[in-house]
Structure 1
């Protein structure tokens, strides 16, 4: 049979296809935009006939029906590699669980058998004449996950762009068990506007960016503010090598700032592993030969990053202590996001020739009662997850400045970090540093 005949033979309704799932199974939705909306809804409808079905995903971008329709977890248990704002709500209300991981290792959890997959359900682009489906916006660890799966269901969506890949970027109709079709628009991640504080923090980082740098940007208001500064500047020939591509990069491409001409690896090609953003971004990527998707084990490998001279990594964090330990994923024991690729890029950027890594945050925050708290703390004692250890921290940035902690003593670190703390907290931070015996009497505010 030719591929189109095989396709028709394997084509089912979502309600038919989800009968491949049995009680006790592990089901995998992959990550972000690979989320199979029609299959998720059909699986949720089987709530009363299934038990102990574990579903794995990351960065939910729309309400997840196996959670919404089963809030007491009678049939389904939702597990997350990384969190969106929606996922935080699920975890906060006991409707989901978090799975600690580092992105460059995520595929290995599947290939080593630590993350079993009985049924994989993923969204892909329409089939080509050779019977191949592009993974589109989610390369990530898709191939390792599908290789581990006992049964595979594809949700074919015409809105999923075809994206050229370096490796592990497609699957053939002969290798799947069932196909369903869904023409719902893909989930989008609205671009967050930059606040005045975001702009102040971005302004502290901007002077460190030079012509020809290759950029890895996180997501959020501050990276968007930095992108605006770059787009309006005289900077030239920037490159892209990032785990997550967002609309911030689209703005830089449209402004002509990203050309990838000076990259020392994949010259002329922008590289990403997962993407979430706007419909405009998805359309920009469709059949765009200037951009490649690649597996996370490659994109986030410090050895890969090391080969990119003048690499600049910029990510957000939640808090930092006076020793330079950084928490980027929890507030106390409350899960906010995940380790993701932060430590991957902190490690890789430092080893790159002229590499620089920046972890940025507001110096303080105001709680619901109107009380201001410092985000630079004496030490972590409330169960906060340490994402970047002090031995690997390079630049810490707040609206009051950027300080490089690499190679510094504890007293030097305390001095520099207090210098970029909110002024209201500097005196008490000095007192804490004295009590912790990491303050010299010659130090000044």
Structure 2
């Protein structure tokens, strides 16, 4: 078969492709670097013709025209599985609605429960065999394609080819193809860690051993950990993570990453679902056989993670209460991010006795007026979203130490968490613990 002829027969302008969307449709966009900018612009231009069009995506970094051109959300409703900075601002304006989820289950949500009338994702140019590559944004893409009524691919000439699992789609499966000029890929530089993050990073890295397979979240904490590991004596480390971030590049450049201790779980491969960082990181993953960009139901699968020896999971949160409930996605009712894979990796961390799961947070934050507040709360009462239930709380870390909450009673948790709090707030937290009946009177003050 002549795949180029088939390709040309399906080639449309963005405006032509956008005509397939009808009022009431559910439309799915590719996430992160797979966001279809040309189609988004063309669909936004049709707003006067449409109503009640619902769009799903996550990790959108560039201006979303269906939202920006419809500031009262009269025609489009944008829904995100996981927010980052730009989407958070949309949410503050009422233009982004969050969809609760457990990340490992996301592909099954589509295959079992969700309707996709139109799926549109950014991909690499087609190869000689008729395949497009999802590049660095695998996540749940294959599941969306599996259930979509109409599949539209937006060819982004800037996207690198990335090896992986279920990271391709064939021209024979596609209804339409869009071409056009794209801006450069969105880059995220490393965050310069402060002394508190560096202190927390030191506590965690001190507990790591050679051959560890590492999962990191995103932010200043993982960047601090990556730099510290790069300077450490640790060796033969592995990667199995939903987000491949700049911290891993630091480890790689220092010769720390070999993936040789992963045995039967992708030995020799760095496994991830989405790459998030700088151009240097993108260049590292481009056509690199040691990389494997896989769907999230594989990367975050509990049985897969549970089989990885010496697995170390490191994530951050916003706050924790004295019961051990962990909030990592909202500040009160203001949505910040999402559940992501944090709960997946906490759950999987119990499966292997050599695994470690850390949740890190600075003990305090300073508000805009300069007032200091504790990130360890007596209780969550302001509408904060609980990401990790107290029954699955594991090892908590602040600049004041490390405490394991697994199996601890309510009074033990209160004592352990107060030990992690800033000294200025400990007496206040003890009094609060007494009021909610989780303080043992014989505890040392």
**TM-score (norm. length: structure 2):** 0.97
1:161-200 equivalences in 2 (<5 Å): 161-166=160-165, 168-184=166-182, 185-200=184-199
How many residue pairs align between the two structures? 443
Asked if structure 2 preserves the Cα contact closer than 8 Å seen for 1:363 and 1:374, the reply is yes
Distance (Å, rounded) in 1 between the aligned partners of 2:403 and 2:62: 38
1:305 corresponds to which residue? 305
Query: Deviation at 1:115?
Result: 2.2
SS of 1:203's partner is helix
Per-residue deviation, 1:229: 0.4
Aligned to 1:423: 423
Corresponding residue of 2:391: 391
Map residues 58-69 of structure 1 onto 2, 5 A cutoff: 58-69=58-69
Match of 1:136 in 2: 135
Correspondence for 2:293: 293
Please list the CA deviations of residues 226-279 of structure 1 after superposition, one character each: whole Å capped at 9, or x if unmatched.
111000111100000001111111111111111101113111111001122112
* Equivalent pair of 2:117/2:150 in contact (CA under 8 Å): yes
Greater mean deviation of Cα atoms: 143-152 or 195-204: 195-204
> What do residues 382-432 of structure 1 show as CA deviations (whole Å, max 9, x unaligned)?
211111111111111111111111111211111111111011100011111
Q: Is the 8 A contact 2:30 2:36 kept in 1?
A: no
SS at match of 1:284: helix
Structure-2 separation of matches of 1:21 and 1:187: 27
| Residues in 2 aligned to 1:413 and 1:327: alpha-carbon distance in whole angstroms | 16
TM-score, normalised to structure 1, is: 0.97
1:11 corresponds to which residue? 11
**Unmatched segments (≥5 aa) in structure 1:** none
1:332 aligns with 2:318: no
1:81 lines up with 2:81 in the alignment: yes
1:155, 1:180 within 8 Å by CA — same for their partners in 2?
yes
- Paired with 1:428 and 1:5, the residues of 2 have a C-alpha distance of 72
Please tell me the root mean square deviation across aligned C-alpha atoms, in Å: 1.2
Shift >6 Å, 4+ stretches: none
Aligned equivalent of 1:348: 348
Contact 1:7 1:173 in 2 (8 A): yes
Contact 1:31–1:57 (Cα < 8 Å) also in 2: yes
Matched, 1:48 2:48: yes
- Between stretches 190-199 and 336-345, larger displacement belongs to 190-199
How much does 1:205 deviate? 1.1
Do the aligned partners of 2:261 and 2:309 also contact (CA within 8 Å) in 1? no
Q: Deviations over 1:66-119 (max 9, x none)?
A: 11111111211111101011111111111111110111011111101x321111
List per-residue Cα deviations over 1:284-342 (Å, max 9, x = no partner). Answer: 11110001111111111111110001100000101111111111111111111111111
